[in-house]
Amino acid sequence: MSRVINSQKILSKNRQSIIGKNILVRVDFNVSLEKEKIFDSYRIESSKETLNFLKPAKRIILISHLDDPKNREPKYSFKKLIPQIEKILKTKIGFLENFNLPIKEKISLFENLRFWPGEKNCDWNFAKKLASLGEIFINEAFSASHRKHTSIYLLPKLLPTFYGLNFEKEINLLNKVLKTKKSLALILGGAKISTKLPLIKRFLRKANLIFLAGGLANTYLKAQGFEIGESLIEKEIINEIKKIKSGKILVPFDFHNQNLENKFLGEINQNDIIYDVGPESLKMLFTELKKYNTIVWNGPLGYIENQNFEKGTWLLTKFLLTLKNKFILIGGGDTLAFLQKKGVLKKFKNISTGGGAMLDYLSNPRNFIGLKW
């Protein structure tokens, strides 16, 4: 991990090597779109500091993926997003549709990397084509660095490589959680408990409290034999969840169903669908959270895609904003998008752009792909 602790110092020391060079920067512009409009610009904004630092370069070529297209579908192209990205970064951005176009602008954005199968396949030929775009490589995409893809894993083997300034900040924030000796609470939401299971297992020893919500809580409750109706669960992992028994794990005991009724756990019937955490469970959670110095939150508490079921997540947001003298770290793409939509994201001091990357790093930092090359 020492390679990322002093990114600014290392980049500054090598600033002369940047002057007049073509710099290839892996960013994460994998933003959520609503009617072709970017509504969660935080990941784009987080690259500003590094891009400003690289001003002495001749050219800056940005590379990123957008969603997970099966084909070259126009809706997944960066071309239509260039005007919005220019507005966010407050600078002119060129667009490179393929490897054959001349690089004219000071800063250019290459087409969606996942339009080429070689990106996800970790292909050396594709890596060499990407490497031909620049002379120095900088990884400023922490949120994508848990994937063994060409632009993350192979490019550092072909070009002199540094980490971006925001990448460094995120690693240092997560290291602070890993190294803390103070009391610690985890709040984990979202759809799948399988993606968060390694983190849960690791932090059963370290954390004082692990609160599960959303689909995670549904699956956990089902494994414990409770009736959760037709709520979202992961059936294939039920047996593994049954083995996890700890008084540190808390789950909601009242919920909002599809009819906006608030029901306690024993009242849920076979036709109910759990969509949000209930008020009594939130009261319990808020009382508990006041006890802990460090709080890590990843994932919404309910089905926030429907405004009727975002109340639990919004109440948690407002509660966390009232807490003073605590280290609060928030991550996860859906969570950040929700906070930005509500206009409160920048009120939180410690943010990780990563969802899966945040989970992977906290679960096993030594095996984090972005540091393995």
Tell me, what's the pLDDT at 189? 97
Q: If you search the block for the tokens 């990106």, which residue do you land on?
A: 119
Q: How far apart are CA 279 and CA 312, in angstroms?
A: 8
Tell me, what's the pLDDT at 346? 93
Tell me, what's the pLDDT at 33? 85
Tell me, what's the pLDDT at 5? 42
Return the sign of the alpha-carbon dihedral for residues 204, 209, 213, 219. positive
Tell me, what's the pLDDT at 8? 53
The CATH code belonging to domain 174-364 is 3.40.50.1260
Q: Which of 162, 144, 132 has the alpha carbon at shortest distance from 18?
A: 162
Q: Which two tokens stand for residue 313?
A: 């997540």
The tens digit of pLDDT for each residue in 163-212 reads 999 999 999 999 999 999 999 999 999 999 999 999 999 999 999 999 99
174-364 and 2-166 share a CATH fold:
yes
Tell me, what's the pLDDT at 4? 44
R_g (Cα) of the chain, nearest Å:
22
- What parts of the chain have a pLDDT lower than 70? 1-15
pTM assigned to the model: 0.92
Please tell me whether residue 188 adopts helix, strand or coil conformation. strand
- Within 10 angstroms of residue 77's Cβ, the number of other Cβ atoms is 17
Buried b (16+ CB within 10 A) or exposed e, 103-126: beeebbbbbbbbbbebbbebbeeb
Tell me, what's the pLDDT at 204? 95
Angle between helical axes of 356-363 and 197-206 (0-180°, round to 10)? 40
Q: Which of 94, 91, 81 has the alpha carbon at shortest distance from 38?
A: 81
Tell me the backbone φ, ψ of residue 129, rounded to 5 degrees: -65, -45
Tell me, what's the pLDDT at 35? 82
Tell me, what's the pLDDT at 3? 41
Class of domain 2-166: alpha beta
The tens digit of pLDDT for each residue in 98-108 reads 999 999 999 99
Domain boundaries in the chain? 2-166, 174-364
Tell me, what's the pLDDT at 10? 57
Q: If you search the block for the tokens 């602790």, which residue do you land on?
A: 5
**Looking at the DSSP assignment, which residues form a beta bridge with residue 185?**
209, 295
The tens digit of pLDDT for each residue in 118-153 reads 999 999 999 999 999 999 999 999 999 999 999 999
